Structure 1
Amino acid sequence: MKLFGYKLPMMSSLLIWAVLWEIVGQLDMTILLPPLSAILAKMVEIVPTNSFLSAFGVTARAFLVGTGFAVAIGIPVGVLMGKSVLIDRLLLPWVNMFLSAPLTALVPVLMVLFGIGEQTVIITTALFAIWIIVLDTRAGVKQISSSLVEMAHSFGASSFQAFFKIYIWAALPEILAGVRIGFIRAVKGVIIGQLLVSVVGFGRLFELYSANFLMEHFWALLLVLFFAAFTLAEGLGYLERKVDYYAASRAP
């Protein structure tokens, strides 16, 4: 980023927004936006508490299980769609529809089908993540040269071996891109699920803080969530860049 011909350090835009936030907060223009310094101080205060750690554990468990199901189902389905024209034509309209649909509207239906509990939160989390994983995996598989698969079969590789040694590795850059975006969507899914289905975890804390106008607590929790999502995205992005060289193996 450059300003008046001078190169600014990384994250400088965030620092500018932080300064503006602090100024607006100090002017006391609205109760809804406390000063950033007060929010950061409150974050340091609430993070070590038992209520926060307990809520974090509940949210992390639902997130990990939900994204685990999304990855375990989404990648094989994406590979099958990339390999088979018939499966692709059968599933692609549904995948595109669910990817673009407002999934929050499906939560009441899930509550009727699976009840009010952690199971529905996990399913909601998986639904937010799985569709982009399927589409990106499908895109990666479709870019694989058919000569790679033919060579593997000529050396006696089974379909199972070709799945792990050809399709997964050659499509790995796109798979990781889908997983990265899917995990970001899953963060939104798990919070929406906890707010609408069973008020537990971070959803319970958001409900508690907003109902009592504890805006410093509310923003502190939101910043923790943003930081966790950002760290997760950057970590997967780093891994994605590390395996980009596998894309070269798709060429004939």
Structure 2
Amino acid sequence: MTLYGYRIPSMAALLVWAVIWEIIGRFELVMLFPPFTKVLAALGDVISTPSFAAAARITMFSYLAGLAIAVVFGIALGMLMGLVKPADRLLNMWVNIFLSAPLSALVPVIMILLGMGTPTVIATVFMFAVWIIALDTRAGVQHVSPSLMEMSQSFGASRFKRLNMILLAALPEILAGVRLGVIRGVKGVVIGQLLVSIIGVGALFNLYSQNFLMAHFWALILILFAFALSLAALVGRLETRVEYYAGSRG
């Protein structure tokens, strides 16, 4: 970002919002917003508690399990839609519907099927992450240059090798979908633990809100935001490293 000819880091926007948050908290304009400095001070209290360590383990397991299943299934579904036109015509509408639908409304249905526990949270993470991964994979596969496939066929490449070539050529879009799925998965794990089974960070959110520990409540939200953005940044760095493959589709 450039302002009056000076380059300003993107983090400066966060500092502006932190200052606004601090002012609102200091003047007690909104009871739910304590000063930002108090939220930062509460970070240490939240992280150091045994309940946070236990909640983090439960949440991390549910999140990583659901995300892993979403990545595998989403890439496979996107490859199928990108390569098989009848499958794309059949599934594309439904994938877009699930992507734009209020998935929170489906969580109670998942609870009825899987019960009130970790499997429901895993399924919720899966539901939130899988559709964007599938659509981005489909887009990447459909942008693969036909000449690349013709060349592979002329050299007698097997079907398995051709699928690998398509996967590598579509990797930038696939990683873009995974990056978005990572962020949506964090939303899924929190909603799953709050709406269905009050476990993990959902239990901590419930505890802090019931006892009006709003500084701790917002500190926990900051931890989740930092976690999601850090994972997305890691995937984003990997995404930049494989942009070389995009040149083979031109």
Do the structures match in fold with TM over 0.5? yes
User: How far 1:25 sits from its partner (Å)?
Assistant: 1.3
In structure 1, C-alpha distance between the alignment counterparts of 2:161 and 2:5, rounded to whole Å: 54
Give the superposition deviation at 1:5: 4.5
**Structure 2 stretches of 5 or more lacking a match?**
none
Whichever residue aligns with residue 89 of structure 1, its letter is R
Deviation at 1:31, TM superposition (A): 2.6
Aligned residue number for residue 11 of structure 1: 11
Distance 1:180 1:138 in 2: 15
Q: State whether structure 2 residue 67 is matched by structure 1 residue 62.
A: no
Unmatched segments (≥5 aa) in structure 1: none
2:37 is matched by which residue type in structure 1?
A: S
Residue 152 of structure 1 and its aligned partner are, at CA, apart by 2.0
1:71-86 aligned at under 5 Å gives the runs 71-86=71-86
Report the Cα distance in structure 1 between the residues aligned to 2:65 and 2:10, rounded to whole angstroms. Answer: 34
Letter in 1 for 2:116: I
Please give the alpha-carbon distance, in whole angstroms, between the structure 2 residues aligned to 1:184 and 1:9.
Answer: 22
Moved more, 212-221 or 29-38: 29-38
Aligned AA (1:54): A
Name the residue aligned to 1:221: 220
CA distance in 2, matches of 1:222, 1:91: 35
Change in CA separation of 1:144 and 1:55 when aligned onto 2, cut-off 3 Å: same
Q: Distance in 2 between matches of 1:81 and 1:3?
A: 44
Instruction: Identify the residue that residue 101 of structure 1 maps to in structure 2.
Output: 101
> Is 1:189 aligned to 2:185, yes or no?
no
The amino acid of 1:68's aligned partner reads A
Alignment of 1:12-161 (within 5 A): 12-161=12-161
How far the C-alpha of 1:6 sits from its partner, in A, is: 3.7
- What is the number of residues matched between the two proteins? 250
1:236 aligns with 2:235: yes
Listed one character per residue, the Cα deviations across residues 166-196 of structure 1 (whole Å, up to 9, x for unaligned) are: 1110000000000000111110001000011
**What's the CA shift string for 1:193-221, capped at 9, x where partnerless?**
00111110011100111111110110100
Range that drifts further, 195-204 or 18-27: 18-27
Letter in 1 for 2:183: I
Give RMSD over aligned pairs: 1.3
Secondary structure of the residue aligned to 1:34 is: coil
d(CA) in 2 for partners of 1:89, 1:6: 50
Counterpart of 1:40 in structure 2: which amino acid? L
With the length of structure 2 as denominator, give the TM-score of the two structures: 0.96
What is the distance in 1 between the residues matched to 2:140 and 2:88? 14
- Structure 1 counterpart of 2:204: 205
Q: Could you tell me how far apart the structure 2 residues matched to 1:20 and 1:113 are?
A: 45
The structural deviation recorded for 1:108 is 1.1
1:4: Cα distance to partner?
4.5
Opposite residue 132 of structure 2, the aligned amino acid is I
TM-score (norm 1): 0.95
